[in-house]
Amino acid sequence: MAQDDQNKSLCTALFQVILPFHAIYILTLMIRMRFIFWALAQFVLISVVHAQDPNLAAQYFSSGEYEKAATLYEQLADKDSRNEYYFNRYVESLFSLNRYDECEKAVKKQLKKTPENTLLYITYGQLFERQGKEAQAKEQFQKAIDRMSVDYASVLRVASTLEKASKFDFAILAYERGEQATKEQHRFAYNLGELYRRKGDTPKMIEFYLNAIEADPGKLQLIQTVIARFLPAKEYAVLQTQLYERVQKNDNPDLVELLAWTFVQRKDFKSALRQYKALDKRLGENGQRVFRISEDAAEARDYDAAIAGYEYIVSDKGQMNPYFFDAKQAIMQCRRKKITEGLSYSQAELQTLEKDYENFLSQFGRGRQSALLIMQQAELEAIYINNLPKAIALLEEVKGFPGMDRNTLATAKIHLADYYLMNGDVWESTLLYSQVDKAFKEEQIGQEARFKNARLAYFNGDFQWAQAQFNVLKASTSKLISNDALDLSVFIMDNLNLDTTSEAISLYAGAELLVFQNLFDAAFQKLDTLRVKFPDHSLQDDILYLEAQIYEKKRDFEHAAKNYAEVADKYKEDIRADNALFALAQLYETRLNDLEKAKTLYEQIFVEYSGSVFAVEARKRFRILRGDKMQ
């Protein structure tokens, strides 16, 4: 017990001795921690202030408070003399304040700090220029060029700064000195071409663009894009002259490619084809370029040039060429379009074309590989020769080919359904449309089949079911299907709501079916009946419009134009007005060869009918006819 008391006393004494030292240590640690926190707070505060200075300076500069901006940018530039941005903004602020003496001192001071920064001479030159001292300004710009390093990056830096300052001649001198010093001919050819373009010197621009292609073939596509965007049509002759001169001296394939491309831009496919054929032979190619230009010519309806290109592949490349069979089929398609799209054609021409199809199929066989060609012949038989039984037999044959591509088969079925309907077999027609609709429920070809099935119901007088389908199809991804569905839906709604009976709209729908079946005389008779029986009906504009379509199918374009014009003039507020205007504009553009009239009509559509489904296309056609470059 006495021993325990002794131990407690000893512990108490030790604690009393140790405690002051422990307290001192804790107190010292707390003081140190307070200093650290204070130091951290000061560091954060200083950082925030420094971070705010550039932002505040930028804010002053953008709001036009140049006095405040100059003060802050001067401080920032002094703290970081290597930061060109701060110094340039300081100078720009002084420029805006017209404090030229102060600016000159600042530039001289900066030159002493960073004498290797040749861009300062450009700033110095701009200072003199602002004061109207042209000679001193030019002297400084020249100093920048004379004292720049001749490595690629330095030349580019000085020249691009001069270009931004709109000192194009000095920028040209900088690039030229760079090429001379580095002994790299055409190293800056593209940059020089761009400068001459900005100066408006077309011949020099073209010269250096062509130099750039010769130095770097990878620039070809870029330069084509620039030329297409900036070179006026009247200047293409300058480009072609320079290209001819170079190609004759040096048969560079990239320049030949560019020469051919210039002809394509001017829709001169015959000349373009000549260049591509020469290039194909020179490089020993497989005809790919020739095939592509032939496709372009066909799309532009230059069928003679297209056929010549395809025939080159067939005759010069032989049957083992990968484009042989496609070229043979394309020849047939172009011949058909050349005849059927003409203003006039004879039965003899159609029969000759029919014989060409038969000969081709006899030579190369009938199967899935030739299915598209058989489908083309079926269209010829149904639409132009009016031999529906033969057209139907051809497509029934296609249906039976093993291994057919599902999309090609679906297209064949839709065409076959059309021909059955033209032949009066409604049941077979709706069955085929339904098959495609079911097999391609969510795809565009399925929506096309659904639309045609709904239109068939409309022809037969089942207007409510047809309208329900059209209302769904208004949301189609295909703009054409969507527009047609909307057109018919609105038409049914307007005319069913106005009538106590559906007799008038039934007569009109029946006339439309007769037009679809190419029974034009019967269609005219039905429309006459409608006009006599319902003289005050709102369908009068629709009757004129449908008659115009009949005249157009009969290639009586003058009569068609007269009817379309009457609809547009007399029924401006009705739903056929914009349709008639667009059809009339297309007639003048493609058939009646009056492009100015077509342009006026296209403009009328997008100005007076801005909400029309034709407005966007009308604006596009107007711009093309006006000569605008389309991207």
Q: Is the pLDDT assigned to residue 105 strictly greater than 90?
A: no
What is each CA distance from 217 to 137, 244, 258, in whole angstroms? 39, 18, 11
User: For residues 373 and 359, what is the distance between their CA atoms, to the nearest angstrom?
Assistant: 12
Residue 405: pLDDT band (50, 70, 90) is very high
Alpha helices per DSSP H over 148-188:
152-164, 168-182
Please provide the DSSP assignment of 87-126 as one string: HHHHHHHHHHTT-HHHHHHHHHHHHHH-TT-THHHHHHHH
What is each CA distance from 561 to 18, 60, 556, 558, 597, in whole angstroms? 115, 65, 9, 5, 12
Please state the length of the chain. Answer: 631
What's the sign of the alpha-carbon dihedral 197, 200, 206, 212?
negative
For 421, the token pair is 């309907």
pLDDT tens-digit readout, 216-269: 988 999 999 999 999 988 899 999 999 999 988 887 889 999 999 999 988 899
Q: Is the pLDDT assigned to residue 50 strictly greater than 50?
A: no
Percent of the chain with pLDDT over 70: 90
For 454, the token pair is 């709904």
**Helix 220-230 vs helix 189-199: crossing angle, to nearest 10:** 0
Q: Which of 38-52, 63-77, 611-625 has the highest mean pLDDT?
A: 611-625
Q: Looking at residue 568, what is its pLDDT? A: 95
Among left, alpha and beta (phi > 0; psi -120 to 50; other), residue 287 is: left
User: For residues 188 and 172, what is the distance between their CA atoms, to the nearest angstrom?
Assistant: 10
User: For residues 191 and 363, what is the distance between their CA atoms, to the nearest angstrom?
Assistant: 56
User: For residues 108 and 140, what is the distance between their CA atoms, to the nearest angstrom?
Assistant: 12
User: For residues 413 and 23, what is the distance between their CA atoms, to the nearest angstrom?
Assistant: 99
Determine which of 119-133, 313-327, 447-461, 488-502 has the lowest per-residue pLDDT on average.
Answer: 488-502
Q: Is the pLDDT assigned to residue 515 strictly greater than 90?
A: yes
Q: Is the pLDDT assigned to residue 99 strictly greater than 90?
A: no
Q: Is the pLDDT assigned to residue 347 strictly greater than 70?
A: yes
Residue 38: pLDDT band (50, 70, 90) is very low
What's the sign of the alpha-carbon dihedral 367, 363, 411, 320?
positive
Q: Looking at residue 241, what is its pLDDT? A: 93
Q: Is the pLDDT assigned to residue 289 strictly greater than 80?
A: yes
Taking domain 489-626, whether its CATH number is 1.10.10.10 is answered by no
Q: Looking at residue 595, what is its pLDDT? A: 93
Q: Looking at residue 629, what is its pLDDT? A: 65
Q: Looking at residue 36, what is its pLDDT? A: 44
Q: Is the pLDDT assigned to residue 339 strictly greater than 90?
A: no
DSSP letter, residue 384: I
pLDDT tens-digit readout, 575-600: 899 999 999 999 999 899 999 999 99
> Torsion angle, CA of 107/108/109/112, rounded to 10 degrees?
120
Pick from 506, 514, 567: nearest CA to 533: 506
User: For residues 609 and 619, what is the distance between their CA atoms, to the nearest angstrom?
Assistant: 11
Model confidence pTM above 0.95 = no
User: For residues 271 and 276, what is the distance between their CA atoms, to the nearest angstrom?
Assistant: 9
What is each CA distance from 206 to 61, 242, 258, 548, 583, in whole angstroms? 41, 8, 12, 50, 42
What is each CA distance from 180 to 140, 155, 216, 553, in whole angstroms? 21, 11, 18, 68
- 590 within 8 A of 554, measured Cβ to Cβ: no
User: For residues 277 and 305, what is the distance between their CA atoms, to the nearest angstrom?
Assistant: 12
| pLDDT, greater one: 17 or 113 | 113
Residue 135 CB neighbour total at 10 angstroms: 7
Tell me the domain boundaries of the chain: 489-626
pLDDT tens-digit readout, 603-621: 999 999 999 989 999 999 9
Q: Is the pLDDT assigned to residue 37 strictly greater than 50?
A: no
DSSP letter, residue 369: G
Pick from 283, 282, 271, 280: nearest CA to 244: 271
pLDDT tens-digit readout, 440-450: 998 999 999 99
Residue 58: pLDDT band (50, 70, 90) is confident
Determine which of 31-35, 300-304, 523-527 has the lowest per-residue pLDDT on average.
Answer: 31-35
| Burial class of 524 by CB neighbour count within 10 A (0 to 12, 13 to 18, 19+) | middle
Pick from 561, 562, 631, 569: nearest CA to 590: 561
User: For residues 201 and 172, what is the distance between their CA atoms, to the nearest angstrom?
Assistant: 13
Q: Looking at residue 5, what is its pLDDT? A: 53
CA angle 391, 396, 402 (to 5 degrees): 135
User: For residues 396 and 419, what is the distance between their CA atoms, to the nearest angstrom?
Assistant: 11
| Nearby residues of 369 by Cβ (< 8 Å), 6 or more positions away | 325
Q: Looking at residue 68, what is its pLDDT? A: 81
| Nearby residues of 189 by Cβ (< 8 Å), 6 or more positions away | 208, 209, 211, 212, 215
Q: Is the pLDDT assigned to residue 32 strictly greater than 80?
A: no
Region 357-361 average pLDDT: 92
What is each CA distance from 504 to 350, 517, 547, 550, 571, in whole angstroms? 38, 20, 16, 19, 19
Residue 631: pLDDT band (50, 70, 90) is low
Q: Is the pLDDT assigned to residue 34 strictly greater than 60?
A: no
- 381 within 8 A of 391, measured Cβ to Cβ: yes
Residue 397 CB neighbour total at 10 angstroms: 15
CA angle 474, 475, 477 (to 5 degrees): 115
Q: Looking at residue 158, what is its pLDDT? A: 93
For 121, the token pair is 């001479």
Residue 49: pLDDT band (50, 70, 90) is very low
What's the sign of the alpha-carbon dihedral 449, 452, 454, 456?
negative
Q: Looking at residue 64, what is its pLDDT? A: 78
| Nearby residues of 126 by Cβ (< 8 Å), 6 or more positions away | 95, 137, 165
In Å, how far from its chain's centre is CA 540? 41
Average pLDDT over the chain reads 87
